[in-house]
Structure 1
Amino acid sequence: MSEKKIKVTMIRSKNGRLASHKACVAGLGLRKINQSVEVIDTPENRGMINKIHYMLNVEEI
């Protein structure tokens, strides 16, 4: 059984953001602007994505 994945791309800088928002960026595995990662579609990952939606581009795979 394959798990659904989400492609997440950081499109805005994490400079000057709240500490909790920076923690969400790190939790998703993002470090640089325009870096993309694929994460498993879980409620935990969805929560982090929803919290910092303004600095991400999200695609369902």
Structure 2
Amino acid sequence: MGKVFITQVKSTIKKPENQKRTIQALGLGKINRTVEVELTPQIAGMINKVSHLVSVKEA
């Protein structure tokens, strides 16, 4: 599987608790923080749940 860069672009304030936990599990938590992760089916599902809060770029 390939690697992707995930950047948080919106705040988690007033978002459901499960979305806040997903952002934390991805290694994010502050706006404009970027992480590089291996694109697995589990990570793809997490990205899908918080797609309105993050931007994704292929590595």
TM-score, L = length of structure 2? 0.94
- Residue identity in the other structure for 1:46: A
Q: Compute the displacement of 1:4 (Å).
A: 1.4
Q: Secondary structure of the residue that 1:46 maps to in structure 2? A: helix
For residue 45 of structure 2, the aligned residue among 34, 40, 47 is: 47
Looking at structure 1, the residues matched to 25 and 41 of structure 2 have their Cα atoms a distance apart, in angstroms, of 13
Aligned CA-pair RMSD: 0.8
User: Among residues 21, 24, 34, which one is paired with 2:22 in the alignment?
Assistant: 24
Q: Provide runs of 4+ in structure 1 moved above 6 Å.
A: none
The count of corresponding residues between Structure 1 and Structure 2 is: 59
- Which structure is larger by alpha-carbon Rg, 1 or 2? 1
Among the aligned pairs, what percent are the same residue? 37
Q: Any unmatched runs of 5+ in structure 2?
A: none
Unaligned segments of structure 1, at least 5 residues: none
**Alpha-carbon deviation of 1:31?**
1.6
